[in-house]
Amino acid sequence: MKKIILAISSSKHLGLDNGELICGRFPDGEVSVTLGEDVKNKEVVIIGSTQPPAENLIELLLTLDTVVHNGARKVSIAVPYLGYAKSDVEKISGQSISSRALINTIEALGGKKLKDILVMNLHSIRLEKFFKTPVMHVSFINGLAENFKSLKNFEIVSPDEGGVARAKEFAGYLGKKNIVTIKKNRLSHTNVEVLQITGNVKDLNVVVVDDMVQSGGTILSAAKSLRKNGANDIYVASVHMDYGGGGWKKLDRSNLIKKIITTDSIKPVEGLSKKFEIVNVAPALKKAIFSLRS
């Protein structure tokens, strides 16, 4: 049976949708969603990233609710970038856990019709405990690593302890067994201090591997310390680039960063400099979507 694929505004640029979904705004700015497809007794996949502004999330929720109430037989959600994922633990008493609230809301709206949630490079494995619906993880780490196959005399760097497994996956694809790790202390949402670098980078090129760039604080702090420790060219490989966080501008302006390889899981802003190279995630997402059980 043919899958009807609908995309909200945040993921229209991927060109994977084959069904009509009109996402608009009422005069007061409220979100409106209108189905242009008959989904009754059909299998539907909704594609949408949930980065700010909040309208992206609202579009996803309204689309899910509309599809379910119009009689879809089965619904799956594909989320190239899961916004609010960094809020996965209560760091101070009384603080909301946004990722839990988001996941619970999606599953409540989908009900028994929601069969699968497909996500690309979740920020943390801690998020897995919030899902009750089966989750398919799509990693694009190797897709990024492919762009560094010709690089010589280099080391792979994890900018924090939470990214070690990610950096090892990246390094493994390039035939390297070891990585350089950085221990950091987060001072605020945007400021980070490097406490320790484990591994040698002197006179070597380095690739700093991360799942996302928001404020850019982690990457820039890592780059400064790596240069102080003798690193040559510094590259950044990040699956997601959250342009709303402003970090991309800092990386672009920094003389420390030679090249930034990222994906279009979030639609790139216009006017990116030649320092940025964007890799298309659509083929990988399409393959994953059509591998979902019917």
DSSP helix/strand/coil, 204: coil
> Is the distance from CB of 166 to CB of 209 less than 8 angstroms?
yes
Q: What are phi and psi of 115, to 5 degrees?
A: -105, -30
Q: DSSP secondary-structure letter at 124?
A: -
In terms of Cα–Cα distance, which of 167, 165, 153 is closest to 237? 167
> Is the distance from CB of 259 to CB of 277 less than 8 angstroms?
yes
Burial of 159 (0-12, 13-18, 19+ CB in 10 A): buried
Q: What are phi and psi of 253, to 5 degrees?
A: -80, -20
Burial of 156 (0-12, 13-18, 19+ CB in 10 A): buried
d(C-alpha 247, C-alpha 253), whole Å: 10
Beta carbons within 8 Å of 194's beta carbon, 6+ residues apart: 182, 183, 184, 221, 222, 224, 225
Choosing from 42, 184, 259, 286, the catalytic residue is: 184
176 classed as catalytic: no
d(C-alpha 187, C-alpha 115), whole Å: 40
- Give the residue numbers annotated as catalytic, written as ranges: 184
